[in-house]
A = this chain, B = another copy of it.
Amino acid sequence: MRPKPPVNGQTVADVGEFGLIRRVISGRAQPASTVLGPGDDAAVVAAADGRVVASTDVLVEGVHFRLDWSSPEQVGRKAVAVNLADIAAMGAVPTGVLVGLACPGRTEASMIEALAAGMWQEAARARVGLVGGDMASTGTGDVMMISISALGDLRGRAPVTRGGALPGDIVAVCGRLGWAAAGLAVLGRGFRSPVSVVNAHRNPEPPYEAGPQAAEAGATAMIDVSDGLLADLEHLAEASGIAIDVRTDLLTVDQKLVDVATALGADSMHWVLTGGEDHALAATFPEPAAVPDGWTAIGTVTRGRAVTVDGKPYEGPAGWQHWR
């Protein structure tokens, strides 16, 4: 007998926890760094360096993603991407991802399969495996929650923390800024285009390889831009005990963002300075010559504690904080 084909509209309650786990892991290949993949009490991942970089992010339906704005695949991709960006921001190479998922019993099983497919897709982009996870019911709760933990390998280098920037350093970024915020603004007004902008919100594409590249180039501090450029530079400035001045003439604003901002009556530079969720990397380098290819110098590190824009405090909210 052939296995029963999945029935349209089956819920996770119909399929059950173990059936669902089988569906989302069967037939998937793991990279060599996955010593032991899903299916046991825990996974085993290579950590040749003798240390492991580890990070956790939580994504909540309605807060971090909306299933009427993004497909389940896109949510899955984003959930993995935001966490792998944290690994890259330490200068590490991602090695594995673990997934925790809680959802209501009425959730369609095919939706969870699509979500997992997106996770596998982004994991493949970063050349890591989904090495393990856990699925649970939300009981009476009706909000889906995804938690992702990512692991990474420093390849013998020191971790690049937020705390090493020194006066005189160059501040540089790699990756998009303001695109996800523009996409969110478009979706918030009920539009679905321009697609490139909307998809920047749905599918951030953090420049994973730029993290180890910056570490190799001697980056003194690094952070991933999840809350907004200014907000995250403030975290870096606070940890390093320094000040940063960002120069807007060095920040390229793509014509697409300018057009969308004009159409919505918004300020594209505001998106670039304060929009989170693109998961670009921001780092400090000891001299202009150290800034690697693909990175753009956008400012300088000075003595003090503030983050300024063109020498002045920035007006308006700097970034995102939960429950605030």
Contact = CB atoms under 8 A, between A and B. Distances in A.
B162 A239 contact: no
B323 A137 contact: yes
- Say how many copies of this protein the assembly contains: 2
Interface in A177-235: 222-224
A1 interface: no
A87 interface: yes
A108 to B, nearest CB: 12
Interface string A82-98: 00001101101000101
Interface in A93-125: 96, 98-102, 105
Nearest to A321: B17
A132 B100 contact: no
Given A41-B86, A53-B44, A324-B17, A100 B136 contact: no
Given A17-B323, A139-B63, A161 B51 contact: no
Interface in A33-92: 35-36, 39-64, 86-87, 89-90, 92
Contacts of A152: 42
B90 A44 contact: yes
B62 A54 contact: no
Given A44-B53, A44-B90, A90-B44, A143 B139 contact: yes
Nearest to A43: B54
A13 B323 contact: yes
A59 B147 CA distance: 11
Contact of A50 (B50, B64, B135, B162): B50
A154 interface: yes
Contact of A54 (B60, B102, B132): B132
A44 B40 contact: no
A288 interface: no
B55 A51 contact: no
A26 interface: no
B40 A90 contact: yes
Contacts of A44: 51-54, 90, 154, 159
A55 B139 CA distance: 23
B133 A56 contact: yes
A134 interface: yes
A11 B323 CA distance: 9
A165 to B, nearest CB: 13
A51 B50 CA distance: 8
Contacts of A56: 98-100, 132-134, 147, 149
Given A40-B90, A52-B52, 16 more contacts: A13-B324, A16-B323, A17-B323, A40-B162, A42-B90, A42-B150, A44-B90, A56-B149, A57-B134, A58-B101, A59-B136, A60-B102, A63-B139, A136-B322, A138-B143, A145-B147
24 contacts: A11-B323, A39-B162, A41-B224, A42-B54, A42-B150, A42-B152, A43-B54, A47-B50, A54-B96, A54-B131, A54-B149, A55-B132, A56-B99, A56-B149, A57-B134, A58-B100, A58-B102, A60-B138, A60-B141, A61-B141, A62-B140, A62-B141, A141-B145, A147-B149
